[in-house]
A and B are shown apart, each in its own frame.
Chain A
Amino acid sequence: MIEYLLLAPVLTGIVCFFSKTRKQVETASMVGSTATLLLGLVLVWQVYKYDIIITWQNALFADAFSAFIVLIVSIVGFVASLYSIGYMGHELDHGAMDLKRLRLYYVLFHGFMFTMLLVGVTNNLGLWIAIEMTTLVSALLMILYSKKSSVEAAWKYMIICTVGITFALFGTILTYYGAVNILGETGDALNWTSLIAVADQFDPTIMKLAFIFILIGYGTKAGLAPMHTWLPDAHSEAPTPVSALLSGVLLNCAMYGIIRFYTIATKSTGVAFTSNLLIIFGLLSLGIAVPFILLQEDYKRMLAYSSVEHMGIIALGIGFGGVFGVFGAILHMFNHAMTKSLMFFGAGNVLLKHETKEIFNVSGLVKSMPVTGAMFVIGTLAITGSPPFSIFISEFTILAAGFSQGHYVATVLFLLFIIMIFAGFFNNVSKMAFGTPKQGIEKGDVGRLMLVAMGILIVFVVVLGVYIPPFFYEMIMKVVEIVR
């Protein structure tokens, strides 16, 4: 069953490659992404029923957690492809893009989808290869516009992530070494299932070293604090649908990797070591995001830093542990993916109309682009964690976990940073959204398709804030079992 899921994006990529006219490419990509979405949902339904699926002599495997990641990837992927039809179409008409590049874009887009799905479903070391491939494909996607800044961003992204991933490889090797002593030379010394069963007999010092390397390696990919430097450049320079995918989904896949190893490492090294590390990194990412959001001039970079902040929150959630903490973190992954891509789409619309990334020369959004403006403001409220929306629920659960687990200082700092980020974020967005529009910006919103895409996401953001469907709740509880 997993193979079909992986096959779908590859097929669409190939079809897009061979299709000539713009109409063909767009229809092919639409059909492909709907297929991926449906297959993803089917997989989730199957996992919901049989708990674990292992195929292809256990190279591919899917349990509740990977199903959760697949769900995020397919939903955001579908909406992103919907959005990119409108976005790329607009770019084409305005001459920023020619047909050849457009076709290349769609091929790489679906390649990127394939690699992220692969991350979700592969077994132990396949994870490393999948993440490595995501870096490669997304680097290519970034240099679509041959602007100076996007090339520079791509180069930095490439170098820093590859360095990070090499460390992760070393970490994986160390875990493999630990496993081999116990499990012997058999092939499956790398799969999650066998590893978790045996995890508590590993030698603690090796596992500590391995966890450090993994944390730094996948931490670079997830944008945790000291290794986040590539994130603002990459996410602000990439084309909008790609940056939505990057910060909405790719960071979650990297976090998926960290949490996988966290479950293994904690069994042998004891909870204190790993969770303290995660809390330190979480608080660091939150702390570093604050100044950059407070004094930001470029709204896409502001959104990128808010991704760093939210990854910090997820790390904190896992670090706090307990049912509350992990549940909050997992829910936060989903909420963040939805809200962040919504915000990036909004930013994309603004970019198309105002052709500038400076917050200073954008104003009166609510007047000039009523629908996007409204959704952008709602998104801002959601992303900063104001009550009626979904992110508030997950942040609140993490806060409650922090308190009940006794990490008082961390929780107070967490709250303080959130408030400061709220102030900075709102200051910038209120400058953009309200007031009178700059001259030369005539009224009227951008493409209808894009608004539909944003509409779907708004539904998730608002509904989840109020009511978590039982099916969804059960799935997250299953994931929590796996992680704890």
Chain B
Amino acid sequence: MSVISYFLVVYEHEKPETRKAGFIYIVMTHIGTGFILLSFLILAGGSGGFGFEGFRASGPTMLPLFKDLAFLFALIGFGAKAGIVPLHIWLPYAHPAAPSNVSALMSGVMIKTAIYMFIRVFFDFLGAGVLWWGFLVLAAGALSAILGILYALVEPDIKRMLAFSSIENIGIILLGLGASMIFYANGSPALSAIAAIAALYHLFNHSVFKGLLFMGAGSIIFSTHTQNLEKLGGLIKKMPLMAILFLIGVLSISALPPFSGFVSEWLTFQSLLLSFSSGDSLVRIVLPASAAVLALTGALAAFCFLKAFGIGFLALSRSEHAEHAKDANRPMLLGMGIFAVLSILLGILPVYVIPFLDRITGTFTGTSIGQSISSGFPGTITMPAGQISMSAPSLFVFMLVFLSIPLMVQLMKGKKHGAVYETWGCGQPVSTARNEYTGTAFSKPVQIWFKNLYRPARELRAAYSVSPLIKQSFKFESRIGQVFENYLYIPVTGYILSKSRMIKFIQTGSIHAYLAYIFGTLVILFMFVIMGGK
């Protein structure tokens, strides 16, 4: 899978950065495969069989140390494939490099295969009985969610932003999964089933709306030939249909009520909140904390996608590319349309989806709680305890009803709009696109809030015309430091390369040195034998 997708990523290999992206991608996934191989070997070590049944059989019989090792290797291996934080660096490179329909596929489906294998290994083979595993997965999920969205927020390039937001959503899925593992280890399979349903539901939603967003980004790039958010703007007037579909995607990813994101996020919240009925006090503190992290991520996600849609689509277009953009052609719209309708349906009618998911979670958590969840009023999801319930369809109906009131008020008297005049600019003569808010400015507050994470670096170069006094033009450039990359990956690769430069010295070219090597090995081996080597 990773090998073939590598070729897809390197499709337009003229550009050097695509090659760099492809290279990082294939090496990271290869490291992932290496770890997965190790964990499978440990799993197979017991029964020797490489089939899933072999793993399932050897799971319980292994001694605890091996079990933990197998778990850790599997986590790192699949983490590299899914893009969990410490191993995520390939995602923001690979997705923008690949053509957009490929990256839609990659973040929609490929990352999910890693999650599938997560569940298969943790629940099916190793029996997920250990508590600290759950906490580790939870921590990894929280970390990926927060860092993913923080980097997405300050990213001017649309596709890189979507790639980072995939990391964030993977984090949310892992939160759900971690909670379900904790409950399973604590011996309350019903709660773990709910948490697992939440995780799977979000997984499914994410594939839908991320696919929609990537296709949207693709059609933007197709018509405006630029991925940079700062150069877009006013697209809603040029590409009205596509704008609506993109808006639906944005609304569902920011988890706003009538759309699909809300339902899965609500379920994840409830599963994190169910901790109050579990005995262990540590669980009752950690889970609400991770719920707070989830809330922060949700808010930041809304912020980030508001920026993407607002800056990208509204007001005046900032470059002539955006000016001449024309609407996406029929097949593109059709594709996006299907996903948009799907994400609305998923948002409004969760009750039909949940029994389907419940059958899946039933297999590995051992209990099916389908009926108890969708018992009450048709269309509502009720939690087993405390009458907590949420009925998405009724929320949607209320929204529609209450929408009509102000609409009638507006239509009631007088014409719809009065005069059309320029935007209020404190009396400035002409309002051009230049005094619009840009993407970086929009996310500036968060950048200042988390400045020691971002380590922003900015550069202002002035070009002088005639004399050093009269400045002709300014060039402003700001960069966000990738913490993980600069402080983890570059030092490690640097160390390996310097060590290998040292070792390269042994190939000196002089034949005498080579003969000396042979003589040396002979003497060493001799000593080895004389000492009675075993």
Residues in A lying within 8 Å of B, measured CB to CB: 155-156, 159-160, 163-164, 167, 205, 208-209, 212, 215-216, 220, 226-227, 229-230, 232, 272-273, 276-277, 288, 290-292, 294-295, 366, 381, 386-388, 396, 399-400, 403-404, 411-412, 415-416, 418-420, 422-423, 426-427, 430-431, 434-436
**A416, closest chain B residue (CB):** B34
Which of B152-160, B467-475, B512-520 lies on the face that meets chain A? B512-520
Is the CB–CB distance between B497 and A295 below 8 Å? yes
> Is B19's CB within 8 Å of the partner chain A?
yes
**A395, closest chain B residue (CB):** B37
Interface SS of chain A: helix, strand, loop or mixed? helix
Q: Which residues of B contact A155 (CB under 8 A)?
A: 511
Cross-interface CB contact of A294 among B23, B42, B497, B521, cutoff 8 Å: B497
Q: How near does chain A come to B531, taking the closest CB pair, in angstroms?
A: 12
> Is B26's CB within 8 Å of the partner chain A?
yes
> Is B187's CB within 8 Å of the partner chain A?
no
Q: Known: A399-B41, A434-B19. Contact between A159 and B497, CB under 8 A?
A: no
Is the CB–CB distance between A209 and B534 below 8 Å? no
Which of B9-17, B276-284, B452-460 lies on the face that meets chain A? B9-17
Q: How far is the CA of A212 from the CA of B514 in the complex (A)?
A: 19
A-B contact pairs, 24 of them (CB 8 A): A163-B515, A163-B518, A208-B529, A212-B525, A215-B525, A216-B522, A226-B521, A229-B513, A232-B507, A272-B534, A288-B503, A291-B499, A291-B503, A292-B500, A294-B497, A295-B497, A295-B501, A415-B37, A415-B38, A416-B34, A426-B23, A430-B10, A430-B19, A430-B22
Is the CB–CB distance between A387 and B511 below 8 Å? no
> Is B27's CB within 8 Å of the partner chain A?
yes
Q: How near does chain B come to A257, taking the closest CB pair, in angstroms?
A: 17
Question: Size of chain B's interface in residues, with CB distance under 8 A?
Answer: 46
Q: Which residues of A contact B41 (CB under 8 A)?
A: 399-400, 403, 411
Q: Which residues of B contact A418 (CB under 8 A)?
A: 34
> Is B355's CB within 8 Å of the partner chain A?
no
Is the CB–CB distance between A403 and B515 below 8 Å? no
Q: How far is the CA of A167 from the CA of B521 in the complex (A)?
A: 12
Q: How near does chain B come to A234, taking the closest CB pair, in angstroms?
A: 12
Q: How far is the CA of A208 from the CA of B532 in the complex (A)?
A: 10
Q: How far is the CA of A226 from the CA of B31 in the complex (A)?
A: 28
Residues in B lying within 8 Å of A, measured CB to CB: 3, 10, 13-14, 16, 19, 22-23, 26-27, 30-31, 33-34, 37-38, 41-42, 44-45, 48, 496-497, 499-504, 506-507, 511, 513-515, 517-518, 520-522, 525-526, 528-529, 533-534
Cross-interface CB contact of B507 among A276, A292, A422, cutoff 8 Å: A292
Q: Known: A419-B34, A430-B19. Contact between A295 and B500, CB under 8 A?
A: yes
Q: How near does chain B come to A11, taking the closest CB pair, in angstroms?
A: 37
Q: Which residues of B contact A167 (CB under 8 A)?
A: 518, 522
Is the CB–CB distance between A415 and B27 below 8 Å? no
Q: Which residues of A contact B33 (CB under 8 A)?
A: 387
Cross-interface CB contact of B518 among A209, A220, A422, A427, cutoff 8 Å: A220
Q: How far is the CA of A300 from the CA of B10 in the complex (A)?
A: 25
Q: How near does chain A come to B308, taking the closest CB pair, in angstroms?
A: 31
Q: Known: A212-B525, A435-B19, A436-B14. Contact between A291 and B30, CB under 8 A?
A: no
Q: Apart from A276-B534, A291-B503, A294-B500, what 8 extra A-B contacts exist at CB < 8 Å?
A: A290-B500, A292-B504, A381-B3, A396-B37, A412-B38, A415-B37, A426-B23, A435-B16
Q: How near does chain A come to B87, taking the closest CB pair, in angstroms?
A: 13
**A208, closest chain B residue (CB):** B529
